[in-house]
Amino acid sequence: MSDPILTYMRNPTPSTIKLPAGATDTHVHVFGPGSKFPYSPTSHFVPVDATKETLFALHAKAGIDRCVIVQSLVHGLDNSAVEDAMITAKGRYLGVAMVPLDVSDTELKRLADVGFRGIRFHFMKGRPGHTPQQVIEFSKRLVPLGLHLQIHFDGSLAKELTPFLIQSPVPVVIDHMGRVDATLGIEHEHFQAVCRLIEHQDFWIKVSGIDRIDANPPYKQGIPFARHLVQQYTEKCVWGTDFPHPNHTHMPDDGILFDSLAQIAPKPDVLHRLLVDNPMRLYRFSA
């Protein structure tokens, strides 16, 4: 077995931006500890543990008060590590789960009751998965529970997925700005298809992933995409670091990601909506 892979900087650059009270990181993961929460045998790599304590410490230094932890493929469909971190954080951290389509209604209700707010699905080229129609049929079961769909897809699939996603009876949250290629430019058809999706009612987008659409720090090509979305769809955007950065082209510096907010949302009122008001509406944190 190969050695565990370290996916995050243990000592990121200290961020300099002053975040508003109630600032929310809406996209992170927790890895392990593997001794307590084993990694999935289907995961194509084993990470170095990135525990809840590591996450809490990162947020404490940066000024993050609330968070949404998203289930990672390294733990497969076992959401226990996320749930454990949520319980420890006592309502300040909520979750997005991954489940099989045949999950029981009892389990879905339990997940909703303990603080999960959405269910995540992937549509990536070359990876096996569910069909869009299967996911939309499944989403009907989420309506009475107040759960939304979180969709992670390759930007080249945005147009193809649109006819299905707009049928969703629950809100849809798009991951990482649709994973477009920033080198193609804002006017490219892939990003424009993502923008058209957001224009539909009850669609949201995470302006996380400047480092995923642009592999070159400090992400001069990625930041304009996030800024464009925040300017054009201010009420539909939330933000996240994606710590601890699995399946990446490089190891991002979280300090740079935090400080990029000064360019993504340079006006204080817009920054407040992005980090505080919008996450509060979407995820229904306790006041």
**What's the residue count for the chain?**
287
List the catalytic residue out of 242, 253, 254, 277: 242
Residue 24 and residue 29: Cα distance in Å, rounded? 14
| DSSP-derived 3-state class of residue 17 | coil
Contacts of 147 (CB under 8 A, 6+ apart): 108, 111, 112, 116, 117, 118, 119, 170
CA distance 279 to 277: 6
Give the residue from 184, 219, 180 showing the smallest Cα distance to 198. Answer: 180
Cα-Cα-Cα-Cα dihedral of 65, 242, 77, 276, to 10°?
30
Nearest to 20 by CA among 284, 280, 283, 286: 280
Tell me if residue 84 is catalytic. Answer: no
Q: Which two tokens stand for residue 131?
A: 């069909």
- Are 180 and 205 in contact by the 8 Å Cβ rule? The answer is no
User: How far is residue 172's CA from residue 278's CA, in Å, rounded to a whole number?
Assistant: 14
In this structure, the dihedral spanned by the alpha carbons of residues 131, 94, 52 and 230, taken in order and rounded to 10 degrees, is 80
Alpha-carbon dihedral 28, 184, 236, 263, rounded to 10 degrees: 70
Residues annotated catalytic, as ranges? 242
